Structure 1
Amino acid sequence: MLLFKLECMRLFSGKINKLVLILFVISGVFAIYQGAQGYKNIRIDQYKSKIVFQKEREHVTQRESLPEAGSLAYYASAPTKWQLSPWAALFVGESQSSMVATKIRATALQSQIFNRETVNPSQQRTGGLDLGFVLVYLLPLVIGIMTVTLISDEQHAGRWRLLNALPKSAFSQVCKQIALRFAVIWLLVLSLLVSAALLLSLPFDAAFWVVLLATSVYMLFWFSAAGLIMSFGKSSVVNSLAYLSSWVLFAMLIPGAVHLYLSSQFHSEAPLKMSLEQRMVLNNGWDQDQNKQAILDEFLQHEPHWQETAPLGDAFEWKWYYAQQHMSDLAVHDLWLSFVENHQARYQQLQNLSLLSPALFFQLQLNQLANTSSRDHAEYQQQIVDYHKEIRHFFYDYLFFDKSISKDDIDNFILFAPSDKTQRKSDTLTIWHFAMGTFVIFVIMMFAVTRLKQLSPT
């Protein structure tokens, strides 16, 4: 117990160690606060979209005479919702720079998804600090500063030979020092997670323990890297530079190289092409008055449920307008499928290549847990596609069968129902990747332990 107290005093007596731990805690607290504010703003945007739509619907139903169905379909912007996990307040992922409450009408779909700004530049924060950033990038630096010079400091102070002369070997003492530092940092991480869970009302469910387990394994990697560097018996300067170089390699260079590679291999201009081609199809449709019936007939081949509609007359009719809108979607359907397949292939390749960098892999897993990954955003877009189809079919009955719309019909307008993925289980491939990464970390740790045992006292 006395030796443990002495080690604790040595650990917290150094100004650098105390400063690093204080800055780490402050960064974590600030990241939790900023992430909570960002998540709050997201929820407010989603709530506002829902309330505005309800008010618009109430305004329409209070009118003495209702607008025709085509006009309602044009102006009815139904809100959608990217269903994020509450953990999105800590791991923002793609939610910071993507639309989370897209409004959808019965008009052409692709222009609504891509032909808009994803964020408001005037409200975009400079940079982004969340708890994920603190854990992925700052935590390894804290570990390195407090650990990587343990042996070299003992050698410089002339205590290394004395430690080797004690009944308990120097290796045993170094292991205790490393274990103490691991425990202190782990407790700080646990405190941050518990505080975040209490402040944000996050449940202490499986997700909480998965985050804690993943963080613990991530810490083991960097402690193993520090131990391996120390085992070569170099000076403090060399050890510090070696550890910093490994941090730059695994946290910056490899993830940057992976994203550059994926950008070159899966570069897609499909969104731009879809927006332009769809706009051209729509514009050309207005110049082809003599082909309006042909466009409607082609539309009915794809939508045979409304085959019994009356032929078009000379005057403007809404059913031709929405038929033309849908045909513009079909004109870019192959580009949309190519975009989806390209995105899926890119994400799968990213998952595989993330094994090259513990930092990248750890960050991806945190984003997946919070439903803020690029895969979750792609699933949200697919939900928008499905909901757009429901909206179209809702209005088609009134447009193609000349049915009058009533106030009850407006009240029964179908609303967007997001899929709840907060309890989504990890897929088999992710579990396999995690197990493989843990095994590699265990091998590195065992190799570092073996080298530390063989370290000469000279």
Structure 2
Amino acid sequence: MLLFKLECKRLFSGMINKLVLLLFLLSGVFAIYQGAQGYKSIRIDQYKSQIVFEKEREHINKREELPETGSLAYYAYAPTEWKLSPWAALFVGQSQTSMVATKIRALALQGQIYNREIVNPSQQRAGGLDLGFVIVYLLPLVIGILTVTLISDEQHAGRWRLLNALPKGAFSLLCKQLALRFSVIWLLAATLLVTAALLLKLPFDGQFWIVAVAITLYMLFWFTLAGLIMSMGKSSVVNSLSFLSAWVLFAILIPGAIHLYLSQQFQSDAPLQASLQQRMVLNDGWDQDKQAALDKFLTREPNWNDTAPLDASFSWRWYYAQQHLSDLAVEQEWQTYLHNSQLRQQRLQSLSFLSPCLFLQLKLNQLANTSSEHYLAYLGEVEEYHKTIRYFFYDFIFDDKQIGKEEVTNFPLFEAKETSSAPTPYWLLFSGIFVLVVASLSAFRLRKLRPL
């Protein structure tokens, strides 16, 4: 007990140690607050979209005479929703740089998906400050500052030979020192996680414990890496530089090299090119044979072959046919982009094993439904809903029927699909085995370390 008190006093006596722990705690609190505000903003945006749509529908139904169907379809913005997990407040992933409440009309889809986007998510590699950033990037630095110079400090003070002369040797004392530091840092991380769960009303279910276990394994990896560096028996400066170099390698260089490689392998500006080409095809249609465009449309949509031929006046039938033809003009490019995006994400998942930082970040985003896979799934839902809206209006536009108030009331609404992660992901087991192997190697080398 006396030894424990002495080690606690030693740990908290240094100004650097107390400052580092305090900064880590404050960073975590600020990250939780900022992440919660960002998630709240997203939910408000999604809620406002629903409210505005309902108000517009009520306003239309109160009118004595409804607008013509083509005009109504042009101004009918139907809201969609990227179904995020409440954990998105802690692990924002791609949710802060992508559309989460896209409003869809019966017009060409490619001109709507990115019509409000400021930052291309394919080019945005880092999100805002969230708890995931604090855990993935700042936590290893805290571990390194508190642990990596334990042996070198004893050697510099001339106590290392004396400690090795004790009955249990210096290894037992070193393990206790590491266990104390692990417990303190783990308690801080657990406090942040529990506080975030209470503030955000996150359930203490299997997903919560998956996150807790993943953070624990991540901490064990960096502690064992610090042990390997200490076992080299070098000076404090060399140990600190070695740990910092390892952090730079795993947190910056390897993820940066992976993203650079994937950017070269997979084109990232395809959505912009598709949107531009779609707009050009749509604009060119005004100067071309409109009946030929309608006939081309009917070959792709034979359900409305009985529609009457066009005359010289403006026709909503041609307008919506041309809108869809402009989408079809870039359909191959768009599907290729979605396919390449899926391949890119699969390649990223396989290469993430090279960096524990990148690996943990991707897994946390998957648990929060903020990963690129979930965003691509959301785009697929938007595409299906856009098709539903088109067919809803096509029945009235191409049959020259006026839409009624009953049809406005029964307008199809977007239904977000629930997505959930596996309750017992195998990556935790593989990560645990890897950390166990590294920890065993570190312990073996520390046991063999002899006094200088």
Partner residue, 1:353: 351
Matches within 5 A, 1:51-450: 51-118=51-118, 128-288=128-288, 291-421=289-419, 423-425=420-422, 431=425, 433-450=427-444
Deviation at 1:111, TM superposition (A): 1.0
Q: Against the structure 1 CA distance between its residues 49 and 109, is the aligned structure 2 distance closer, same or farther, given a 3 Å change threshold?
A: same
Structure 1 stretches of at least 4 aligned residues deviating more than 4 Å after TM superposition: 431-434
One-letter code aligned to 2:326:
S
Deviation at 1:434, TM superposition (A): 4.6
Secondary structure, aligned partner of 1:94: coil
Residue by residue over 1:277-324, the C-alpha shift from the partner in whole angstroms, topping out at 9 and shown as x without a partner, is 211211121112xx2222212211211222222222232221111111
Matched-pair contact (CA < 8 Å) for 2:93–2:127: no
Structure 1: distance between partners of 2:3 and 2:431:
35
One-letter code aligned to 2:266:
F
Structure 2: distance between partners of 1:115 and 1:63:
30
Structure 2: distance between partners of 1:128 and 1:292:
48
Unaligned runs of 5+ in 1: none
Structure 2: distance between partners of 1:426 and 1:385:
29
Structure 2: distance between partners of 1:344 and 1:434:
23
**Is the counterpart of residue 451 in structure 1 residue 436 in structure 2?**
no
Matched-pair contact (CA < 8 Å) for 1:50–1:79: yes
One-letter code aligned to 1:365:
K
Residue by residue over 1:193-252, the C-alpha shift from the partner in whole angstroms, topping out at 9 and shown as x without a partner, is 000000011111111111111111110110011000000111111111110111111111
Secondary structure, aligned partner of 2:137: helix
TM-score normalised over the length of structure 2: 0.96
Structure 2: distance between partners of 1:172 and 1:261:
45
Structure 1: distance between partners of 2:428 and 2:298:
50
Matched-pair contact (CA < 8 Å) for 1:355–1:437: no
Deviation at 1:116, TM superposition (A): 3.9
TM-score normalised over the length of structure 1: 0.95
Structure 2: distance between partners of 1:325 and 1:20:
58
Deviation at 1:11, TM superposition (A): 1.4
Structure 2: distance between partners of 1:264 and 1:64:
58
Matched-pair contact (CA < 8 Å) for 1:83–1:420: yes
Deviation at 1:154, TM superposition (A): 1.1
Structure 1: distance between partners of 2:350 and 2:429:
13
Matched-pair contact (CA < 8 Å) for 2:135–2:215: yes
Secondary structure, aligned partner of 2:66: coil
Structure 1: distance between partners of 2:362 and 2:268:
22
Matched-pair contact (CA < 8 Å) for 1:99–1:118: no
Partner residue, 1:9: 9
Structure 2: distance between partners of 1:392 and 1:349:
35
Unaligned runs of 5+ in 2: none
Q: Against the structure 1 CA distance between its residues 92 and 268, is the aligned structure 2 distance closer, same or farther, given a 3 Å change threshold?
A: closer
Structure 1: distance between partners of 2:135 and 2:421:
23
Structure 1: distance between partners of 2:359 and 2:385:
33
- Matched residues, number: 448
Partner residue, 1:27: 27
Matched-pair contact (CA < 8 Å) for 2:206–2:423: no
